[in-house]
Amino acid sequence: MMTPSPLKGIELIDCARANGNDGIEVAAKQCGYGNNLEAFEAALREACQSIGVEFNQFSDLLKSTTNYQKDAGEIVAPDTPSEL
């Protein structure tokens, strides 16, 4: 759902990340910036800078901040349902 006024701060970052896989144009619209991509990126840069996150381009937000392996860890479970 598109916001009626442009988002700022952490709300902007969260919205941009949530819509980022659909492209910068969709993210800008959803965050209240319409087709003004320059204002959208400027606001993102400012928001990221205020929380100490490096931002060079929009794709920086789409990179995962956690680095984990899908198969890491050990599964602990009973062998059969009757062993619960």
Which tokens belong to 21? 């896989």
pLDDT in the model for residue 40: 96
Q: Where are the domains of the chain?
A: 9-62
Q: Note the pLDDT tens digit of each residue in 34-81.
A: 999 999 999 999 999 999 988 888 888 887 544 444 555 677 777 777
Q: What is the pLDDT of residue 3?
A: 66
pTM exceeding the 0.85 threshold for the entire prediction: no
Buried/exposed 13-52: b ≥16 CB within 10 Å, e otherwise: bebbeebbeeebeebbbbbbbeeeeeebbebbbebbeeee
Q: Mind listing the pLDDT tens digit for each residue in 3-47? A: 679 999 999 999 999 999 999 999 999 999 999 999 999 999 999
